[in-house]
Structure 1
């Protein structure tokens, strides 16, 4: 059986870090992941996926990744259920993340927030995210730097 999940999205809020009775760290967070296709109005929609991460990775996520951060996670889908106060069975599906990676620099994230008036909107990218001083319109998430000067003869293919 295979149960592997890889997601790239933006955190909709800061991770909520808690500790179990035996002091094991656990963080819950939600990722807004854009869908591949636009809806009938030409707008990009997003899915909001509940995620859980444990132990040192949970503490690292809570300390380093904040609301709006672009992160990648790997893990597995898990379904659990419980009975609520009304006696109804409630099913919860979430991603149990094994690891995460922050995919943009803090500087790029702060610049993006300021270019959008400090507001981040899940489900859609604005043109200002990609605007830059370069002629291609691409802005590296790793800051302003000169492109590499590599000739075609130096490429191995």
Structure 2
């Protein structure tokens, strides 16, 4: 089973803790031997999902939206990003250079094209900018990839 992740970054601490638990619950629902998690490994849900897949005994494939992507992520996340990238069984690149909303959406479209199901850490609201979680969920719907929404009841961003 190939499962991708998309989700909101910068979640409040309480929401983040609940999301980590929920992602772990979702990942434990898949047989480890057949599990391939596909992620852009940004800080937040992308990285938490990849870590949960590896802890479960699955494999991780990484989509890199742009050559400058790592530098656009918070400095405190670089060590985690690097470790997850090293642990990847495969890396997919868009070929774009600038880490901007177009590259992020292109990477997400690539990710959706690689998976059987998409896990979305999504509050159900419209995207705050092009390439946001709602845009990725909408793209998955257009191309027929099932979406499993993970959002703690009563949580806000």
TM-score range relative to shorter protein? under 0.3
Q: Highest relative contact order (Cα 8 Å, sep 6+), 1 or 2?
A: 2
What is the TM-score of this pair, normalised by structure 1? 0.22
Could you say which structure has the higher strand fraction?
Answer: 1
